[in-house]
Amino acid sequence: MKKQLITMLAIILTFTILAACGKTEVANNNANNSASNNGAGTEAQSSAPASENPEGAKIDEESKELTVYTALEDDIIQAYLVSFKEKYPDVKLNFVRDSTGIITAKLLAEKDNPQADLVWGLAATSLLVLDQNGMLEGYSPEGVDRVLPEFKDSNEPTRWVGIDAWETAFVVNKPEMEKLGLAIPQSYEDLIKPEYKGLITMPNPSSSGTGFLTVSGVLQLMGQEKGWEYLDKLNENIAMYVHSGSKPAKLSGTGEYPIGISFGYRGIQEAQKGSPVETVFPTEGSGWDLEANALIKKGTIKKAAQQFLDWAIGEEVMKEYNKNYAILSVKSDSTVIPEGYSKDPMDQLIPIDLSEAAKNREHTLTEWDKRYNAKSEPKT
């Protein structure tokens, strides 16, 4: 199964040139600098000497300030950055962080005046739509040959490179289910049983990458007609759609809503923090996407941005990714399976055509909004 899935993924991603997968902008910085809470504004013109790169953009060799757009979870970014700060202590990092849909929409809105220098940890399906719009600069990071083919762009130089995969999971509060006398759901089919009505939260796919990969996964697993029929039934049991992939896991942890459709690592983290939850990977398989990195196309490319992308697939940070994700783009002897995952998490991933998901994204989200958005929490 694993070998077949890897082969299929490689074929899919090799021929993918399509679009995909959206309020708080968070600024994070290195140990020596601070950044604005309002994200990054237009940077002043650099007077640093610039050389040429193979694609024609000028290379700024001296700038030590980067604007990084990311959809990585807030509580893991700083842990990931430790080895970067040790290697590049003079580089100031200004982060703009939000959910996948919001970051994707922001990047597209800034197409003609890009603010980001690079993207770190955004859904590959989002990077595909940016590439379709001519927004990515080709760059093959140092060590890209170590990245599995199904986790990176097939162009040379590469336009995006994956770091890990994340997948649909149910996060269930065990004591609350016991109080209700209900079994813990193990499958998508279980979730539509009438006894779970009003107990489930799920991410809105328009704003959350986890929501989108879950919906597109269901549609590809069941087919369009049966998939929408299933989502209609699931909607009857949904208490609320939220705008974060991790929020359903947190709501489950507190017991407010005992069943959260979220992603695997978040449920496992909730349990490690002491929440009485169990992370369930649906028996039918999980929808999934890749977290990936890319260089944003600009008139002048900063050498520091290329160095960041080199670092972002290096051995040290891969060890940190592996603390949160079972499936990494670079395999090594140090790769371990986090507690709570099966021995072979690749077998949990359903066959997904990312290009098909991207191609159908606009229709999928329009249809989903029409049918179910009335149950979404207000955006803040």
Q: How far apart are CA 236 and CA 262, in angstroms?
A: 18
Q: At residue 251, does pLDDT exceed 60?
A: yes
Q: Which residue has the higher pLDDT, 51 or 301?
A: 301
The CATH number, out of the four listed (3.40.309.10, 3.40.50.720, 3.40.190.10, 3.40.228.10), of the domain defined by the range 168-287+352-375: 3.40.190.10
Q: Mean pLDDT lowest for which of 185-189, 247-251, 326-330?
A: 326-330
Q: How far is CA 250 from CA 24, 246, 269, in A?
A: 18, 7, 10
Phi, psi of 371 (to 5 degrees): -85, -40
Q: At residue 40, does pLDDT exceed 90?
A: no
Domain 2-165+289-348 has CATH 3.40.190.10: yes
Q: What is the predicted pLDDT for the residue at 345?
A: 85
Q: What's the whole-number average pLDDT of the chain?
A: 86
Q: How far apart are CA 198 and CA 282, in angstroms?
A: 20
Q: What is the predicted pLDDT for the residue at 55?
A: 60
Phi, psi of 326 (to 5 degrees): -80, -25
Q: At residue 11, does pLDDT exceed 60?
A: no
Q: At residue 6, does pLDDT exceed 80?
A: no
- Residues 6+ positions from 135 with CB-CB distance below 8 Å: 107, 108, 111, 114, 296, 297
Q: Mean pLDDT lowest for which of 6-10, 148-152, 272-276, 321-325?
A: 6-10
- Burial of 14 from C-beta contacts in 10 A (0-12 / 13-18 / 19+): middle
Q: At residue 7, does pLDDT exceed 50?
A: no
Q: At residue 344, does pLDDT exceed 50?
A: yes
Q: What is the predicted pLDDT for the residue at 31?
A: 35
Q: What is the predicted pLDDT for the residue at 269?
A: 87
Phi, psi of 50 (to 5 degrees): -130, 135
* Contact in structure between 159 and 131 (CB atoms under 8 Å): yes
Rg (C-alpha) for the chain, rounded Å, is 20
- Percent of the chain at pLDDT exceeding 90: 70
- Whether the full predicted model's pTM is greater than 0.75, yes or no, is yes
> Is 265 marked as binding a ligand?
yes
Residue span(s) of the chain under CATH 3.40.190.10 come to 2-165+289-348, 168-287+352-375
Q: Which residue has the higher pLDDT, 17 or 374?
A: 374
Read off the amino acid at residue 47. S
Q: What is the predicted pLDDT for the residue at 29?
A: 41
